[in-house]
Amino acid sequence: MHILMHSEEDLEISDFLAPEMTVHSHDPDAAYSAIQMFATSLALCAFSVLYAYGETIAVAPDAIGIRMRWSYAADDGRIDEIAMDIDWPGLPQTRQEAARRAAASCTLHRTLEHPPRVQTRIG
């Protein structure tokens, strides 16, 4: 998997099937941290569903690229919006809406739509 950091809130993920993960950045001071891992996880989850969908409709999913962008809420230290843009060369126009629905059905996407209760414990 190849990850290109355009900024700390903008990643482009490609080569999902590559055996190693590489991270490159336009900004040498930008760090690949937990938030970037979170966005990458969401993209990988969507890719997994799209890969299966591609096999079902006989459209090669190998060249799928996903761009993840997000913004933070003004005052409470959380992400308030995530945009996932999927580029799938070879996907027929007639299959694009079904592919969008498939990507939105991944476990992480659905979890974000209906967030779990998180309990933090120490000791």
Joined tokens for residue 73: 């809420």
75 band by pLDDT with thresholds 50, 70 and 90: confident
Please state the rounded mean pLDDT for residues 74-79.
88
Whole-prediction pTM? 0.93
For residues 116 and 64, give the distance between their C-alpha atoms in angstroms, rounded to a whole number: 29
Superfamily of domain 33-113: K homology (KH) domain (3.30.300.20)
Asked if residue 31 has pLDDT above 90, the reply is no
Joined tokens for residue 34: 């937990």
- pLDDT computed for residue 29 by the predictor: 83
Domain ranges for the chain? 33-113
- pLDDT computed for residue 60 by the predictor: 94
Joined tokens for residue 98: 């079904």
